[in-house]
A and B are shown apart, each in its own frame.
Chain A
Amino acid sequence: MTENSILTQIPILNRLFRFQWEPSSHRHVLLYPEGMVQLNESAGAILTHVDGERSIAQIIEALQAQFPEADDSLIQDVIDFFTEAHHELHWIEFT
């Protein structure tokens, strides 16, 4: 998949997972049958914007607005995250 085509994809969370904030450990997690992934800050920040409506390009825009100090590597980081989350980890599906 080329970078341009991935940017237009609309990600949605795989129905096997639930994404939420854990107040007692101060981080986001993905919960699934009898298991849990404790997410790092950037994965948590990205997944917060996944709603099944916004494209990856729009999510990048939202993140840039949220973290104005971030440089251009943010774009590649988000693309890499979604590529891995889709192909390898199966957290994400594309609508």
Chain B
Amino acid sequence: MNCIGSNLPEGVGQPLWLLAELTYRCPLQCPYCSNPLNYDLNKTELSTEQWIETFRQARKMGAAQLGFSGGEPLLRDDLEQLIKAARELGFYTNLITSGMGLTLERMQAFKEAGLDHIQVSFQASDAEMNDYLSGNKRSFQEKLEVARTVKKLGYPMVFNCVIHRENIDQIDKIIELSLALESDYVELATSQYYGWALKNRDHLLPSKAQLVAAEATTNRYREQIKGKSRTKLIFVVPDYYEERPKGCMNGWGNLFLTITPDGTALPCHSARELPIQFPKVTEESIESIWYRSTGFNHFRGYGWMKEPCRSCDEKEKDFGGCRCQAFMLTGDASNADPVCAKSPHHHLITEARDNADLAQPAQGSMIYRNRKNSQQLSQTQAADLIPAQQVEME
């Protein structure tokens, strides 16, 4: 029996959920990708042994869910090995993939290695839209094939589609496709505005009217399939249309642990964009990172809060919202998430909503997530960061 239970800091949860971003390499170029804008600066990836050691340590600390993501995790040749090791450690293993280049042989090998679940992400319902949105021509046919094979091999089928301004009006077709593929779970998640999605926000944020219509459509399908199909339709509204922020990650450093390709440990997958140092699993044990590092303790508890959060009676519900969103929109990660109507920065959100009501809300064209754009953005981003830090010091 392990005994990490003895000297735990008060009130810190276990890292039940481990997200392993195996690589930033990816054949697609989704404009809403949550990878950091400057992902191309750092091409280091943990070795097979380093990943397995990471899994072992996290499992010992209570991690039970393991997501293999990226980039495109299929580009790791050792994925079979990683799955096998994780499964033997007792993880429930989730593969989060675009399905590009996934062959039947490989899916069978994953099955033998003990993979529990494959989530295939779609961009939209028809080939044209899909290719347009992912910047790749062949992707749609391949994905359909993969989704059918997932089902054939007896995996739970989780159909994921990021919903945004350009595909939200086709939500009926998207749902029909997911039902035709006999999906067990259908995640219709509106894009969250981090990383590339924030850059492309004006292209992606649906209008209120679009959103209301899409929710009504989803409800109509829920009624239609009631009693006939076990498919669960999950529609995630963008927080931009809420008056209170979401309880981000169930609290900072409380449940989620993300490891980036180079081994940096993060409390959530977009925390890399914060001006905070996060430790690497190659330099410190996960136990020490989780319980003792400055990065993971930074926003634990309520002591870091400013007004209006500090004296707010709802702070235990939402922890002041998302730290990354607060930082990206206000320049200070300790501010209230501007999604909150009590935030003095809430106008940033309502302005974006008003903008989304325009017929042509966006200037210029979408910026696709690829190496060229990443290199360009890394340069401008370095320049952007300096004034943002000055704001915080004032």
Contact string, B42-71, partner A, CB cutoff 8 A, digits 1/0? 000000000000000000111011010000
Closest to B158 in A: A33
**Is B109 interfacial (CB 8 A cutoff)?**
no
Q: How far is the CA of A90 from the CA of B366 in the complex (A)?
A: 42
> When A22-B64, A24-B60, A25-B14 are in contact, do A33 and B154 touch as well, CB less than 8 Å?
no
Knowing A16-B184, A18-B116, the reply to whether A31 touches B62 (Cβ < 8 A) is no
Is A94 engaged at the interface, CB distance under 8 Å to the other chain? no
**Cα distance, A25 to B64, chains bound together (Å):** 11
Most buried by B among A22, A29, A32, A34: A34
Contact B158 A29 (CB under 8 A): no
With a CB–CB cut-off of 8 A, which chain B residues contact A87?
A: none
Chain A proximity of B119: nearest CB distance (Å): 7
Tally of B interface residues using CB under 8 Å: 24
> Quick check: B62 and A15 within 8 Å, CB to CB?
no
Please state if A23 and B1 are interface contacts (CB–CB under 8 Å): yes
- Nearest CB on B from A30, distance (A): 10
CB distance from B144 to the nearest CB of A (A): 20
Interface assignment of B203: CB less than 8 Å from any CB of chain A: no
A35–B232 alpha-carbon span in the complex (Å): 14
Q: What per-residue 1/0 map shows which CB atoms of A1-38 lie under 8 Å from chain B?
A: 00000000000000110101011110001011111100
Q: Which residue of A lies closest to B5 (CB)?
A: A24
| In the complex, residue of chain B having the shortest beta-carbon distance to the beta carbon of A30 | B92
Q: With A and B bound together, what is the CA distance between A22 and B117 in angstroms? A: 20
Q: Does the CB pair A23–B16 fall under 8 Å?
A: no
Q: Which of A16, A20, A23 has the most CB of B within 10 A?
A: A16
Query: Is A20 within 8 A of B90, CB to CB?
Result: yes
Q: A24-B2, A33-B117, A35-B65 are in contact. List 20 more A-B contacts (CB 8 A).
A: A15-B156, A18-B116, A20-B90, A23-B1, A24-B4, A24-B5, A24-B61, A25-B14, A29-B64, A31-B116, A33-B94, A33-B116, A33-B119, A33-B158, A33-B184, A33-B185, A34-B117, A34-B158, A36-B16, A36-B92
User: Shortest 3 CB-CB distances between A and B: which pairs?
Assistant: A31-B92, A24-B62, A33-B117
B residues with CB within 8 A of A: 1-2, 4-5, 14, 16, 60-62, 64-65, 67, 90, 92, 94, 116-117, 119, 154, 156, 158, 184-185, 230
Q: Give 8 pairs: A residue, B residue, CB < 8 Å, sorted on A.
A: A22-B62, A24-B14, A24-B62, A25-B62, A31-B65, A33-B94, A33-B156, A34-B94
